[in-house]
A and B are shown apart, each in its own frame.
Chain A
């Protein structure tokens, strides 16, 4: 089975890093993964996205064709990609950044929760926790090991804490 994940938002939200962590965690789970990224020339603020494909077989086409999971962290990203999701796919949004209209989404306040933790930049780790718990695309253990290895040393504990808060969100989410 080929699982297609698209994480889209703007530069500075850790969209590319989130994709990298997912792909690496999938490899740790013993699966195949490809991660691609796309962003503008700006270092922050421009549209950014990361795509991750996870499969048990060799992955030919390295891009999302129709997403199983869309994470939209900006209105622009939501408007652009919400149609390119499978009918049984999931759309995860940050409810404070995206107005989903009538669409069915899993809406969580990732950025606000990160603010409460004292560092807005860990919103992506909270999002990953929620994504992992809600979809099971990678194991919790692999993701925790990956976070430990990949994030800057002085932020490991903070990111793990953020990831766990994300995990706990699952099941408590307001779905609309």
Chain B
């Protein structure tokens, strides 16, 4: 992103200090990251993002398409990304379900793209205007087969903007779909935000082939596990298929070795970097005997509860996961060694809970604190659960 392009984005947004919604911040973050293609289908509580993109993208030389559904939306952003343009879609649970097939395709063909899921209360159409965290496991396992995903969870409007930029960086760097797993509460919440200045935030771009087209092997990494990606229309040939393929891109569907090598590489290009990808925020964990493990909006109630209980002398702390996928297993294992009990408040009936249990082992007691129906936990809910733990 050049300074001129940055200036165009800021001009389109209007000003750098705003009182904005999470949904607006995803759009601003995308534009600042250089996203110039958006395809989507409106859905509560994510529609405002599409609205902002539809207004601002044309002003910065980008393209906005309202598609016929979410299957097509996902297909469109994959196509645009393959043409070399940073691309995004935004949706909520019902749309996220429809996108799963093409998400698998994007994983298999290693297409960088960003999906924002403003989670609402499901299953099915559920409670359209109410927030939830019900898609956390779907984010990891919603498409079929073995694959890895990167997913981040914001808990404020400023972080919604910052993490959207980060989603683009990670998708470019790892050649993989990256999810911003947010929710209707953050999406519709307004807070004061600052648009970062030019040069104040980092941008990553996909690595393009340096070899001439005749020597380019599209799915052969030169080093590490991430191959370089050539833009369609740039003179390079890439055969692209969701079928198991050899490094040259051509299908090879009955060779166990080819499949094992490909899928192992697709998973390891992310899981090898689990620690580097891990972002968390700790509050009063140093001497904590009980820890809350949470993510997203739930952490805002958890912080309040921790500060309130600390003033009463209770040794309680909070670990907020910003990176939920890949799951920070090692970090949780170490936390399990330090604390006696862990409480996992979630706006679902218990999803990330299972990953926490798996990571900490049997010596640490892990309890769930579910809250469904569209109402976030109150600090009092968490305080009571911690006191009766």
Within 8 Å of chain B (Cβ to Cβ): is A148? no
- Partner among B128, B189, B304 whose Cβ is within 8 Å of the Cβ of A35: B189
Q: A38 and B129: CB pair below 8 A?
A: yes
Of A26-34, A73-81, A110-118, A154-162, the one with at least 4 CB within 8 A of chain B: A26-34
Residue interface bits B256-279, CB-to-A below 8 A is 1, else 0: 000000000000000000000000
Q: B19 and A24: CB pair below 8 A?
A: yes
Within 8 Å of chain A (Cβ to Cβ): is B44? yes
Within 8 Å of chain A (Cβ to Cβ): is B240? no
Q: B189 and A27: CB pair below 8 A?
A: no
**A residues 31-70 in Cβ contact with B at 8 Å:** 32-41, 60-63, 65
> Which single residue of chain B is at the shortest CB-CB distance from A42?
B129
Bound complex: CA of A37 vs CA of B44, how far in Å? 13
Within 8 Å of chain B (Cβ to Cβ): is A20? yes
Bound complex: CA of A62 vs CA of B189, how far in Å? 8
Tell me the smallest distance from the CB of B132 to a CB of chain A, in Å.
14
Within 8 Å of chain B (Cβ to Cβ): is A95? no
Q: A32 and B129: CB pair below 8 A?
A: no
- Partner among B19, B44, B185 whose Cβ is within 8 Å of the Cβ of A41: B44
Given A36-B185, A39-B129 in contact, is the A65-B379 Cβ separation under 8 Å?
yes
Q: Which residues of A contact B17 (CB under 8 A)?
A: 27
Within 8 Å of chain A (Cβ to Cβ): is B307? yes
Q: Which residues of B contact A41 (CB under 8 A)?
A: 44, 128-129
Residue interface bits B37-49, CB-to-A below 8 A is 1, else 0: 0000000100000
Q: A32 and B192: CB pair below 8 A?
A: yes
Tell me the smallest distance from the CB of A11 to a CB of chain B, in Å.
11
Q: A34 and B191: CB pair below 8 A?
A: yes
> Which single residue of chain A is at the shortest CB-CB distance from B19?
A24
Q: Which residues of B contact A60 (CB under 8 A)?
A: 300-301, 303-304, 307
Residue interface bits B272-308, CB-to-A below 8 A is 1, else 0: 0000000000000000000000000100110110010
Given A27-B192, A33-B19, A36-B185 in contact, is the A61-B379 Cβ separation under 8 Å?
yes
Q: A20 and B19: CB pair below 8 A?
A: yes
Q: Which residues of A contact B252 (CB under 8 A)?
A: none
Given A41-B128, A41-B129 in contact, is the A36-B303 Cβ separation under 8 Å?
no
Within 8 Å of chain A (Cβ to Cβ): is B378? yes
Q: Which residues of A contact B44 (CB under 8 A)?
A: 41
Within 8 Å of chain B (Cβ to Cβ): is A23? yes
Q: B192 and A37: CB pair below 8 A?
A: no
> Which single residue of chain B is at the shortest CB-CB distance from A21?
B19
Given A33-B191, A36-B189 in contact, is the A23-B303 Cβ separation under 8 Å?
no
Tell me the smallest distance from the CB of B152 to a CB of chain A, in Å.
19
Bound complex: CA of A24 vs CA of B19, how far in Å? 6
Within 8 Å of chain A (Cβ to Cβ): is B376? yes
Q: B300 and A62: CB pair below 8 A?
A: yes
Residue of A23, A24, A39, A62 with highest tally of chain B CB at under 10 A: A62
Bound complex: CA of A63 vs CA of B379, how far in Å? 10
Q: A23 and B129: CB pair below 8 A?
A: no
Q: B379 and A36: CB pair below 8 A?
A: no
Q: Which residues of B contact A20 (CB under 8 A)?
A: 19, 190
Q: B19 and A23: CB pair below 8 A?
A: yes
Q: A61 and B188: CB pair below 8 A?
A: no
Residue of B189, B190, B192, B307 with highest tally of chain A CB at under 10 A: B190
> Which single residue of chain B is at the shortest CB-CB distance from A16?
B188
> Which single residue of chain B is at the shortest CB-CB distance from A39?
B129
Residue of B17, B128, B191 with highest tally of chain A CB at under 10 A: B191
> Which single residue of chain A is at the shortest CB-CB distance from B186?
A62
Tell me the smallest distance from the CB of B285 to a CB of chain A, in Å.
16
Q: Which residues of A contact B19 (CB under 8 A)?
A: 20, 23-24, 27, 33, 35
Bound complex: CA of A34 vs CA of B188, how far in Å? 11
Bound complex: CA of A133 vs CA of B378, how far in Å? 31
Bound complex: CA of A36 vs CA of B376, how far in Å? 12
Please name 13 further chain A to chain B contacts, defined as beta carbons within 8 Å, in addition to the given A24-B19, A33-B191, A65-B378, sorted by A numbering: A33-B19, A34-B191, A36-B188, A36-B189, A36-B190, A37-B188, A41-B44, A41-B128, A60-B300, A60-B304, A60-B307, A61-B378, A62-B185
User: CB within 8 Å of B: which residues of A?
Assistant: 20, 23-24, 27, 32-41, 60-63, 65
User: CB within 8 Å of A: which residues of B?
Assistant: 17, 19, 44, 128-130, 185, 188-192, 297, 300-301, 303-304, 307, 376, 378-380
Could you list 18 A-B pairs, sorted by A, with CB under 8 Å?
A: A20-B19, A23-B19, A32-B192, A33-B19, A34-B189, A34-B190, A35-B190, A36-B190, A37-B188, A39-B129, A41-B129, A60-B301, A60-B304, A60-B307, A62-B189, A63-B376, A65-B378, A65-B380
